[in-house]
Amino acid sequence: MPFDNRNTLRMSAVIILLGGMMSVAQADDDHEHHEGGRRAVATNAAWQEECGSCHVAFPPRLLPAESWREMMSGLDKHFGTDASLEPAVAQEIAAFLEQNAGKRKPDPVAKPLLRISETRWFIREHDEVPQRVWKNPLVKSPANCAACHTLAESGDYRERNIRMPK
């Protein structure tokens, strides 16, 4: 769209400024995490923005690289919705996901799983969650991590921050 150039300039200036402020804030955050003895969580701005708009940005380590590669090649048909991205952005995010993917080798003959909630790890980790909680309308889908992991938005899945809907 041919927008007024001055306006674009102003907008970019403001965006750069905000970006600067955010990265300083993030640096402080990371610092706290290390002091708290916590492993730093891998993040990337494009991933957080684009993969966090319809649901929480699921942690890359919870699927192997093969799964992310498969998912990123079919974003226009993403679990029944169109999540398509500009190729350059998709490429950046794919690289980030694959670099920080889980290290467990997937079964070489099976098709890569696209749902974290269908991995063996997930099912085992959540086998104590009662059926009636999964069926609670406030949960609706096992992919709705934030229904129980109250800080999922910030990548925090620690036990002490879990509150299951009754």
Partner 1 sequence: MSRINTLLVLLLVVMSGLAVQPACAETFGQFMAEFARSAKSSPGFQSFSAANGEQFFKSTHGNEWSCASCHTEDPANSGKHAKTSKVIKPLAPLVNPERFTDPTKVEKWFKRNCNDVLARACTPQEKGDVLTYLLTIGK
Binding site for ligand HEC (CB under 6 A): 50-51, 53-55, 58, 62, 71, 75, 78-79, 81, 83, 93, 115-117, 125-126, 128-129, 133-134, 139, 141-145, 147-149, 157-159, 162, 164
Q: For residue 34, give the DSSP letter.
A: H
Minimum CB–partner distance for residue 159 and ligand HEC (Å): 5
Considering only 42, 46, 83, 95, the residue that binds partner 1 (CB under 8 A) is 83
Backbone angles phi, psi at 139, to 5 degrees: -100, -55
Q: Which does 126 bind (CB under 5 to 8 A by kind): partner 1, ligand HEC, none?
A: ligand HEC
Quickly list DSSP for 45-107.
HHHHHHHTSSS----GGGSBHHHHHHHHT-GGGBTTB-----HHHHHHHHHHHHHT-B-SPPP
| Residue written as token pair 């096992």 | 142
Measured from the CB atom, the residue of 12 and 24 that comes closer to ligand HEC is 12
**Residue closer to ligand HEC (CB basis): 27 or 110:** 110
Q: Is 147 in the site for partner 1 (CB under 8 A)?
A: yes
Site for partner 1, residues 8 to 37, rule: CB under 8 A: 10-11, 13-14, 17, 20-21, 24
Let me know: does 60 contact 68? Beta carbons within 8 Å: yes
- What, of partner 1, ligand HEC, none, does residue 42 touch, CB below 5 to 8 Å by kind? none
What lies within 8 Å, CB to CB, of 39 at 6+ separation is 33
CB atoms within 10 A of CB 36: 7
Asked if 132 contacts 86 with a C-beta cutoff of 8 angstroms, the reply is no
**Interface residues toward partner 1, by CB under 8 A:** 1-4, 7, 10-11, 13-14, 17, 20-21, 24, 54-56, 76, 79-86, 140-141, 143-144, 146-147
